[in-house]
Amino acid sequence: MIQPLAYIHPQARIADNVTIEPFVTIHKDVEIGEGTWVGSNATIMDGARIGKNCRIFPGAVISAPPPQDLKYRGEPSTVTIGDNTTIRECVTLNRGTALDKNTTTIGSNCLLMAYVHVAHDCVIGDNVIIANSVQLAGHINVYDYAFIGGTSAVHQFVEIGAHSMISGGSLVRKDVPPYTKAGREPLSYIGINSVGLRRRGFSAATINEIQEIYRIIFLRKYNVTKAMDIIEAEFAPTVERDEIINFVSNSQRGIMKGFGI
């Protein structure tokens, strides 16, 4: 269903069963998958690639050129949104740049609440929730099932690990490892996201092991290299252990600190 008061470029590729409300603007180089709903006054510009069964609420602006990067020189680039993702009111999603990934990616089954900004070349995984007014600078990676609390601001190039949870109003300047909870100022480790892990089917034994690993990293005052050596020596390889080791060992900005460290 396409309302006559919407503007849709004749070369835009709109699948079947897409609902486009009045006063929507859709530019030429746009793809929208079947079953998606686009609310009034949303603007979808060249380079947008939107999956199936998404919901895009009024005032959202997707793939506006140029992205907010002074190095952008007009090169073709994209914003890609996976299936079943909800983009709430006044969200802004900047397209990528040729100097990095050339695309900004939002995964499937995500929820981006009102006034979220995702800058150029970010990669958001699947099942991510980003609450109201969160601001993501460029080149950020947010892994699957992460949650970012409202009005948080995330520095460019930061990595936010899978299943992590960041409290509202946080200033995120360092990487947040997987399975953790982060809060306070400066942003610090405040435990593991045990409630989220239980909801997603992690066993009690796995949750306990994750907690013991992070006690070594954050609470025993070892440096990162020493902590990694101890974890590799004392814990048998598991998916979770290896994910933590790889994330922490490869962190470019450094990980957040333990509270009080």
Judge whether 138 counts as a catalytic residue: yes
CB atoms within 10 A of CB 91: 25
CB 8 within 8 A of CB 20: yes
Of 162, 109, 163, 169, nearest to 133 (Cα)? 169
| Dist CA 15 CA 31 (whole Å) | 8
Of 92, 99, 260, nearest to 183 (Cα)? 260
Which residue out of 27, 120, 139, 163 is catalytically annotated? 120
| Dist CA 134 CA 164 (whole Å) | 16
3-class DSSP assignment, residue 112? strand
Which residue out of 46, 69, 121, 175 is catalytically annotated? 121
| Dist CA 151 CA 105 (whole Å) | 21
Which residue out of 33, 39, 125, 138 is catalytically annotated? 138
Judge whether 96 counts as a catalytic residue: no
CB 164 within 8 A of CB 214: no
Catalytic machinery residues:
120-121, 138
